[in-house]
């Protein structure tokens, strides 16, 4: 059974493959796209750990840890904001 969120899941999966460096290394992208792809959490989740396993460099590993921690902090803040908005809407509607 297809859900209403299926197209968004498909787009997210394709973005993860392309911007996460699964299909091609991020270094071969044009410079503006490479900078954007490396700033997004996809590279911290997929490309960074894979590159660290293949070719370990201490400075890249340190930057990867910082990027992952920042991704966790930003994601947690966004989720907490969404949660507080949802709770407020439920309480307003008498739930």
**Domain ranges (residues) in the chain:** 6-92
83's tokens = 């949660």
Indicate whether 2 pLDDT > 80: no
Q: What percent of the chain stands above pLDDT 70?
A: 95
The SS3 assignment for 5 reads: coil
What is the pTM for the complete model shown? 0.74
Q: Which of 87, 93, 39 is nearest to 67 (CA)?
A: 39
* Res 90: pLDDT: 86
95 confidence band (pLDDT: 50, 70, 90): low
Q: Check if the beta carbon of residue 66 is closer than 8 Å to that of residue 54.
A: no
Q: Which of 70, 73, 78, 76 is nearest to 48 (CA)?
A: 70
In this predicted model, what pLDDT tens digit does every residue of 69-84 receive, in sequence order?
A: 999 999 999 999 999 9
* Res 59: pLDDT: 94
């Amino acid at each position: 059974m297809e859900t209403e969120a299926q197209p968004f899941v498909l787009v997210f999966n394709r973005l993860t493959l392309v911007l996460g460096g699964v299909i091609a290394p991020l270094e071969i992208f044009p410079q503006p796209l490479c900078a954007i792809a490396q700033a997004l959490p996809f590279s911290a989740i997929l490309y960074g750990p894979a590159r660290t396993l293949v070719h370990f460099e201490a400075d890249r590993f340190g930057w990867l840890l910082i990027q992952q921690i920042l991704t966790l902090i930003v994601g947690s803040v966004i989720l907490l904001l969404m949660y507080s908005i949802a709770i407020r809407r439920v309480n307003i509607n008498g739930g």
